[in-house]
Amino acid sequence: MVSKYYPRMGETLYTHTLDNGLAIQVIPKKGFQKSYAMFATNYGGADRRFRYQGEWLNTPAGVAHFLEHKMFDMPDGSNALSVLSANGASPNAFTSSAMTAYYFECTEGFQENLKMLLEFVSTPYFTEESVAKEQGIIGQEIRMCEDSPDYALYYNLLKCLYARNPVRDSVAGTVESIREITPDVLYACHKVFYHPSNMRLCCVGDVEPEAVCALAEQVLPKGKGEVPARDYGSAEPGKPASFRHKAAMEVSNTQFLFGAKLTPAKPGPDRLRQVLTGDLALRYLMGESSPLYTSLYAKNLIHTDFSAELDYAAGAAMLIAGGEGRDPHSVLAAVEEALSELRRDIDTEAFQRIRRTTLGYCIRSMDRLGGLCTSLAEAGFAGYCPLDAPEMLENITPEEVRQALLDWLQPERIALSVIEPLRP
């Protein structure tokens, strides 16, 4: 394995790519009681149309999420979740628009649990009966999500921003779309996307990097697979497909999200720079220490749940911000006023303080094992390493941050999603 020490982080990252294409990243933490492993595939809810062996294939919405649910079933009738739990591990999985990940944390038996993780994720087993049963379970989950204000708020915003990109659709699919999912569809998508060439294994804790590699090489398929091309539809304009969406649900206070489409930087160092520039920009403009946040909070226009972030999926990037607040339009007006001041100048002292804060967050994140594994996997699929963040942060200028905010938050690029309380 290749090792690299990151002095600003105080960590050593071991990396290796197996002959079958699997990328492995391990950060040993001697003396830590817990260890964490994540086996992730570059396959999410938005990857519905793809080219494999020269042919374009279309799949129903919700297949990636459906696969996540069914992968724990083993051919011998056992369930990997139960096996891992019985062995003292705490396992789970998630599916986003861009990635599916299976993971566990444990205090002992790491190698045994890792072997189980690698085996069940690489061993598909589906039957007509089990798929039909899961359609009912996931159908109930979809209906519950549709009744969730957070779910409605988020996807209503994405539908405002995007006219065609599949990121606008629920990762779980719809009750109708999951009825089209069959064992053959699941086997086909597992074959295409769950090959080691399209996956990453990330481990953090009191573990031996060489032992992780040896086990992965022993358990997983040997040959390289074809990494499929994805089709997310034709390019979308910079402006939203629609600018406003309002709905009424059973909420106690008005909730809102506003957002804008960005042009994603190409994978690699450019993507890391955009991610960090966005982090600095959003902390500077509307972070908890910003004058804008303080003013909005003092006027009771936002609550403590207000947050802002950049998100990437399906060849797209977006800025999303919001929370609870009685008057979203006043919040947007205040954002525009803050941007007007930014057009004249940026407070370099405040910028330097935000940069130090961001660096501190990067260093503290090294001890959050689950978040660190997730960052390694997501960043790896985007072509960069999150441990390079401190050096990159030093090179981002106040002018870059100022210009990013002015470009991203132009009034004609912003869409707003609002959920209001039901009126009697």
Active site residues: 68
Q: Report phi then psi at 315, rounded to 5.
A: 70, 15
* Nearest-angstrom CA–CA distance, 335 and 327: 13
Closest to 22 measured CA to CA, from 125, 122, 96, 104: 122
Q: Are 280 and 401 in contact (CB under 8 A)?
A: yes
The residues, ordered by sequence, that sit 6+ positions from 293 with a Cβ below 8 Å of its Cβ are: 286, 287, 302, 306
Cα 307 → chain centroid:
16
Question: What does the DSSP 8-state code read for residue 413?
Answer: G
* 158, two tokens: 């994405």
Q: Are 173 and 61 in contact (CB under 8 A)?
A: yes
Query: Residue type at 163?
Result: A
How many helices and strands (H and E) does the chain possess? 15, 15
* Helix, strand or coil, per DSSP, at residue 393: helix
Q: Are 210 and 3 in contact (CB under 8 A)?
A: no
Strands 229-230 and 49-52 turn out to be antiparallel
* Nearest-angstrom CA–CA distance, 367 and 65: 29
Question: Among all chains, which residue has been given the structure tokens 């459906």?
Answer: 66
